[in-house]
C-alpha cells in the first residue's frame, strides 16, 4: 500500500486549511508531505472525473460542467502551496519534487482532456448550447471548456493522444529544469567587493550590497548579486567600468554557462516539442496555437503592433546613444559604448537634461509608504481597505498577511506579500493565488499573494525603492486587485483567468496612479525628515517620465520579437543561440543594448508555457492601459467615481466572464489605437 492511500485529505494540513483566517497551517507542513499528498489528491481528482464521465444520465450543466469545475479541490490546495514554495522559498527537496510532480501533473491533465466519455458529455452540452437557456457567463465557460478540450487533443486518434500526452509531460519537465537552472546560476554567482571598489555608488546601493554580503557570511564586504535590485543600480552608478562589465556578463550569461545549468539543450528540445505539438493539433505554428485564444488572434496582428514600435524605439535609442558616447568621451573614455556602459551614462544624461538622478528619488520612496500608496489608491478607486494581521505563519517569515474588506466592512479576502530577495526565491516579481474567488457551489473567497525581490535593508533601516521598483510594486498589486475584486460565478473565469494579452491591463493600468501628483505628495515622504518630495523634484521626475524610452523599449521589444520569431515558424531552429543572433541582426539590434531577457534565462517563455509566444502581451495591454488611464484624465480627476465604478465592474471584477474586447468596450466605449501607447512611452 502506498503512503498516499493512508492520507486523509479532509484533515491533512496541505488540503484542509485550518490555520488563522482560513489559511494553511504552514508551520505544520513538512517538505516530505508533498509527494504522498499529491499522489492522494491526484487519485481523488481522477476518481471524481471518472464518476462525471461515467454518469449514465444525459449531460447537464449541473452534472457535468459544474461538477467538473468543482472537482479536485484537494489537488488545487496542495498545488497552490507547492508552487508558491517552488517560486518563493525553494530548496533541494522542493526542487526534486518539482522535477517529479511537473510531468506527473501534465500526465494527469492530459488524461482528463483526452477522456473520450468526458468529452462526449461536454460535446453534447456544446452542441445543445443554444437550447439550454444559459446566461452569458455560463455559455462562455461552456464554449471555453469545449475549445480547451479540443486544443488539448480530445479529437485526436489514440496514437495522436498518446504522443501529445508524452509531449506535454516532456515540456513540463523541461520547464521545471529551465527555471531551476536559472535560479542556480543566480544563486551561485556573487562578486565580493571592498570599500575601495565602491566609487560612485550611493549609500542605498552600498547598504543593499553590505546586507547581501552579510547574508552570505561575508560581513564587512559588499556583494554584487544577480538580483535586479542590486545589479541594475550597481551598473547604473558604479564608476568602475571593469566591475560593471563583470556584473553585466554574469547577468546576461545566466543559463549559458556551459555546465550542468546550461539551458541550450533545454531550449532546443522545448522549441522542437512545441512545434510538434502545434502540428499534431493542426496549427501552422506554435504561435498560431497559442494565439488562437487571445485578443491578437494571429502572429500577423502581433507583428503589426511590434514592428512600428520597434522602428520608433531604434530611432530614439540611436539618438540617445550619440549623447551617451559624447558623455563618455567628455569623461575621458576612448572606448566604444558597450552594453555595460549604457545605464551608467544614461544616468549622467538624465542629470544633465533634468538636473536630477535616481539617487535623489530613493529617500522618498520607502517600501512601507509605497505599500500604503497601493492600498490608498485601491480604497479611493474601489472602496476596499486593508488591515495587516501579524503573527500568522506563512511560507517564509518575510511574508506578511493582510485582511481585505469591502466598503461596507464585510470581508472580501486575504492579501499576502513577500517583498525581499533571498537565495531561495527565483528572481522577478509576480502575483498568484492560494485560492481564487468565485460563487459556484459553496463559493470561495480570494487569497492572493505578491512576490517581489527588493534588496533587504539592514535591521532598523527602511527599504528604499527606485522608481522602477515602486512601479513594479504597483504593477503586481494591480494583478492582485484583479484577483481580489473578482465577482464571477465560475472558477475557470475568476480573477486573472483571462487571455494572456488582456491579463496585463489591470496591472499596467494601476502603475499610472503611482505618479499621480496627489499620491506622491501624500506618500513620497523622506525617510529621515518625513517631509514630502519637494515640488521641484516631483516636477523634474514627471518631466523625465519618458526619459530612456528608447533603451527600455528596445530591451523589451527585442525580447518580444525573438519570442515570436521562435514560435511563428512551422519548425524549430537547430541552434537557438545562433537563431537569436541572426534574428537580432536582421532587426538591426543596437550593439550596446541586449534583450531584457536573453533566450537562456527567458523565464517568461521557457519556464513553463505561460508567456510562450506571448511576451508581446505586455505591449498589447499597454495599448489598452494608456487609453484606459486617458479616460480618467479626460474627466480631470484621476479618481473619478463614475469611471472607477466602470473600471471595477468591467475590468477588475469581470475576470474572463466575457470576451475581453467586449469588456474593454463596455468600460471605454471603443477600442484604442497604438498611438496613445507610443506617446506615453515618449516615442512620438
Q: What are the cell numbers at 105?
A: 501533473
| Rounded Cα gap, residues 661 and 150, in angstroms | 23
Nearest 5 degrees, angle CA 506-CA 415-CA 186? 80
CB within 8 Å of 140: residues ≥ 6 apart: 493, 656, 657, 658, 659
Q: How many CA atoms lie within 13 A of 236 on its CB side?
A: 21
Each as own residue / partner, the long-range contacts of residues 185-189 (CB below 8 Å, 24 or more positions apart, any chain) are: 185/226, 185/253, 185/254, 185/255, 185/257, 185/261, 185/601, 186/225, 186/226, 186/227, 186/254, 186/426, 186/427, 187/423, 189/225, 189/226, 189/250
| Rounded Cα gap, residues 610 and 612, in angstroms | 6
| Rounded Cα gap, residues 402 and 392, in angstroms | 10
- Contact indicator for 427, 453 with CB cutoff of 8 Å: yes
CB within 8 Å of 631: residues ≥ 6 apart: 643, 667, 668
Catalytic (active site) residue 143: no
Q: Which of 169, 321, 476, 504 is catalytic?
A: 476
H helices present in 152-240, as ranges: 158-188, 203-215, 228-237
| Rounded Cα gap, residues 270 and 288, in angstroms | 16
Torsion angles phi and psi, residue 670, rounded to 5: -165, 165
Handedness of CA 414, 419, 425, 428 (dihedral sign): positive
- Contact indicator for 23, 17 with CB cutoff of 8 Å: yes
- Cα–Cα nearest to 426, from 182, 95, 117, 66: 182
Catalytic sites, residue numbers: 476
Amino acid at each position: 500500500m502506498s503512503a498516499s492511500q493512508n492520507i486523509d485529505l479532509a484533515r491533512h494540513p496541505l488540503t484542509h486549511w485550518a490555520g488563522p483566517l482560513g489559511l494553511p497551517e504552514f508551520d505544520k507542513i513538512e517538505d516530505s508531505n508533498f509527494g504522498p499528498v499529491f499522489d492522494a489528491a491526484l487519485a481523488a481528482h481522477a476518481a471524481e472525473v471518472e464518476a462525471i464521465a461515467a454518469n449514465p444520465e444525459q449531460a447537464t450543466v449541473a452534472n457535468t460542467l459544474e461538477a467538473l469545475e468543482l472537482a479536485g479541490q484537494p489537488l488545487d490546495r496542495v498545488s497552490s502551496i507547492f508552487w508558491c514554495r517552488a517560486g518563493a522559498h525553494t530548496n533541494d527537496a522542493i526542487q526534486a519534487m518539482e522535477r517529479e510532480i511537473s510531468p506527473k501533473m501534465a500526465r494527469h491533465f492530459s488524461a482528463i482532456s483526452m477522456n473520450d466519455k468526458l468529452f462526449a458529455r461536454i460535446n453534447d452540452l456544446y452542441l445543445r448550447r443554444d437550447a439550454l437557456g444559459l446566461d452569458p457567463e455560463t455559455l462562455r465557460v461552456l464554449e471555453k471548456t469545449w475549445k480547451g478540450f479540443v486544443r488539448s487533443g480530445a479529437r485526436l486518434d489514440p496514437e495522436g493522444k498518446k504522443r501529445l500526452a508524452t509531449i506535454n509531460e516532456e515540456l513540463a519537465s523541461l520547464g521545471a529544469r529551465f527555471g531551476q537552472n536559472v535560479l542556480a546560476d543566480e544563486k551561485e554567482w556573487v562578486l565580493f567587493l571592498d570599500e575601495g571598489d565602491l566609487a560612485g555608488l550611493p549609500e542605498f546601493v552600498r547598504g543593499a550590497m553590505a546586507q547581501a554580503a552579510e547574508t552570505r557570511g561575508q560581513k564587512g564586504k559588499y556583494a554584487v548579486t544577480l538580483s535586479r535590485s542590486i545589479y541594475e543600480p550597481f551598473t547604473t552608478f558604479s564608476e568602475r567600468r571593469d566591475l560593471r562589465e563583470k556584473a553585466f556578463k554574469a547577468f546576461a550569461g545566466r543559463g549559458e554557462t556551459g555546465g550542468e545549468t546550461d539551458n541550450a539543450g533545454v531550449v532546443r528540445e522545448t522549441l522542437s516539442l512545441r512545434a510538434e505539438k502545434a502540428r499534431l493539433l493542426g496549427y501552422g505554428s506554435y504561435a498560431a496555437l497559442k494565439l488562437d485564444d487571445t485578443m491578437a488572434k494571429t502572429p500577423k496582428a502581433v507583428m503589426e503592433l511590434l514592428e512600428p514600435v520597434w522602428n520608433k524605439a531604434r530611432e530614439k535609442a540611436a539618438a540617445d546613444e550619440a549623447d551617451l558616447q559624447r558623455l563618455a568621451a567628455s569623461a575621458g573614455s576612448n572606448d566604444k559604448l558597450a552594453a555595460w556602459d549604457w545605464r551608467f551614462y544614461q544616468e549622467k544624461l538624465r542629470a544633465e537634461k533634468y538636473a536630477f538622478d535616481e539617487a535623489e528619488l530613493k529617500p522618498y520612496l520607502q517600501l512601507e509608504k509605497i505599500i500604503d500608496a497601493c492600498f490608498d489608491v485601491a480604497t479611493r478607486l474601489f472602496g476596499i481597505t486593508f488591515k495587516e494581521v501579524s503573527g500568522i505563519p506563512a511560507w517564509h517569515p518575510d511574508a506578511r498577511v493582510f485582511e481585505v474588506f469591502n466598503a461596507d466592512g464585510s470581508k472580501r479576502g486575504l492579501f499576502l506579500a513577500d517583498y525581499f530577495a533571498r537565495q531561495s526565491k527565483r528572481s522577478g516579481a509576480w502575483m498568484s493565488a492560494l485560492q481564487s474567488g468565485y460563487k459556484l457551489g459553496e463559493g470561495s473567497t480570494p487569497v492572493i499573494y505578491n512576490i517581489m525581490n527588493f534588496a533587504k535593508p539592514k535591521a532598523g533601516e527602511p527599504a528604499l525603492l527606485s522608481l522602477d521598483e515602486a512601479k513594479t510594486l504597483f504593477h503586481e498589486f494591480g494583478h492582485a486587485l484583479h484577483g481580489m475584486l473578482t465577482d464571477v460565478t465560475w472558477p475557470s473565469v475568476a480573477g486573472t483567468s483571462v487571455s494572456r494579452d488582456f491579463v496585463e491591463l489591470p496591472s499596467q493600468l494601476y502603475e499610472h496612479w503611482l505618479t499621480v501628483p496627489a499620491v506622491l505628495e501624500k506618500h513620497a515622504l523622506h525617510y529621515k525628515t518625513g517631509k514630502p518630495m519637494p515640488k521641484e523634484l516631483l516636477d523634474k521626475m514627471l518631466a523625465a517620465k519618458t526619459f530612456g524610452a528608447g533603451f527600455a523599449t528596445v530591451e523589451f521589444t527585442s525580447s518580444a520579437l525573438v519570442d515570436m520569431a521562435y514560435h511563428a515558424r512551422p519548425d524549430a531552429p537547430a541552434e537557438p543561440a545562433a537563431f537569436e543572433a541572426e534574428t537580432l541582426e536582421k532587426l538591426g539590434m543596437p550593439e550596446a543594448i541586449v534583450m531584457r531577457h536573453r533566450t537562456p534565462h527567458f523565464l517568461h517563455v521557457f519556464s513553463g508555457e505561460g508567456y510562450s509566444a506571448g511576451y508581446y502581451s505586455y505591449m498589447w495591454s499597454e495599448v489598452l492601459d494608456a487609453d484606459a488611464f486617458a479616460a480618467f484624465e479626460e474627466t480631470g480627476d484621476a479618481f473619478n467615481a463614475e469611471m472607477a465604478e466602470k473600471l471595477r465592474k468591467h475590468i477588475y471584477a469581470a475576470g474572463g466572464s466575457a470576451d475581453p474586447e467586449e469588456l474593454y468596450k463596455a468600460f471605454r466605449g471603443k477600442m484604442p489605437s497604438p498611438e496613445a501607447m507610443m506617446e506615453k512611452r515618449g516615442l512620438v
